[in-house]
Amino acid sequence: MKYIEPHAHMVSRTTDDYLKLALAGCEILCEPAFWAGFDRSSAQGFFDYFRQLTDYEPKRAERFGIKHYCWLCINPKEADDPVFAREVMSLIPEFLEKKSVLGIGEIGLNKNTRNERIIFEEHVQIALEHDLPILIHTPHLEDKKKGTRMILDALANFSRLNREKVIIDHVEEHTAALVLDQGYWAGMTLYPESKCTPNRAIDMLETLGTERLWLNSACDWGVSDPMAVPKCALEMKRREHSAEFIEKVIYHNPAKFLAQAKNFQL
């Protein structure tokens, strides 16, 4: 079984995890820029992080036959200070020249503040100026529904935006239809506790269909599982879904969305 892991934070994971991913059939892995678990004290910290994402991680993944791509931004958790956020964002154009950069992400909202929204909109503008796809993080737990609605409202103001080039991630049962109904892609994140379990994600695939949906582990420094996607594929098989159904969800769907990025190659 081959699959694409479209959202994983490998800077937080061990090399052993790359081995496990490769053994499970992962051929391509995409890493959005995110919050490292602590606030960085300077834009230079992000410069080094962007170097890690664009230079070091592709080499580490390549040792296991996995193609590594990344997305760049300042994540919403560190975007509540617009002066600092803009300093980091000024670094992005230089890194867009790198051959493994897919687009802008994971941008979005965290606590649904005015400044988070301003910086989110400025990131969208960068993506439009460079004709890049966008990967959007939606807030956690009780903040998710409100944040998802606010993100959709903000995106609606960009008349030039091609909604098929935008994926809104971490959807759950109360936000998935909101996203899909407006023509965007939706990502379901498989977490042990705080997002979707594999069976809930499969329930959504059964009720919403498989168009414009992908699965990811979003594995990072927290309680998360880099094997979540292949485990969900196994659960789909136990629930009598066909090999074609499973391959569409874990390979062809992410490939279709990611193919809109100029640098992406299967």
Partner 1 sequence: MPDKKKIADLHFMNARCQLIDLAAFFDRMDRHGGPDDYRDLALRAAVPILLEKRPDRAKAVLDLLSDDSTELLDSAPFQGAFGAPLPQQGGAR
Choice between 43 and 154, CB closer to partner 1 = 154
Output b/e per residue, 68-80; b: 16+ Cβ within 10 A: bbbbbbbbbbbbb
Is residue 137 a contact residue for partner 1 (CB under 8 A)? no
Choice between 176 and 227, CB closer to partner 1 = 176
Q: What letter represents residue 37's amino acid?
A: G
- What is the 3-state secondary structure of 221-245? CCCCCCCHHHHHHHHHHHCCCCHHH
Choice between 59 and 114, CB closer to partner 1 = 114
d(CA 128, CA 134): 9
Is residue 52 a contact residue for partner 1 (CB under 8 A)? no
Is residue 142 a contact residue for partner 1 (CB under 8 A)? yes
Q: Which stretch binds partner 1 (CB under 8 A): 64-72, 89-97, 123-131, 199-207?
A: 199-207
Among 130, 200, 252, 256, binds partner 1 (CB under 8 A): 200
Sorted by sequence, the CB contacts under 8 Å of residue 126 that are 6+ apart come out as 89, 92, 93, 104, 132
Is residue 86 a contact residue for partner 1 (CB under 8 A)? no
Is residue 108 a contact residue for partner 1 (CB under 8 A)? no
Closest CA relative to residue 9, chosen from 79, 81, 105: 105
Q: Which residues of the shown chain bind partner 1 in the complex (CB under 8 A)? A: 77, 80, 110-117, 139-146, 149-150, 172-174, 194, 199-200, 203, 206-207, 238-240
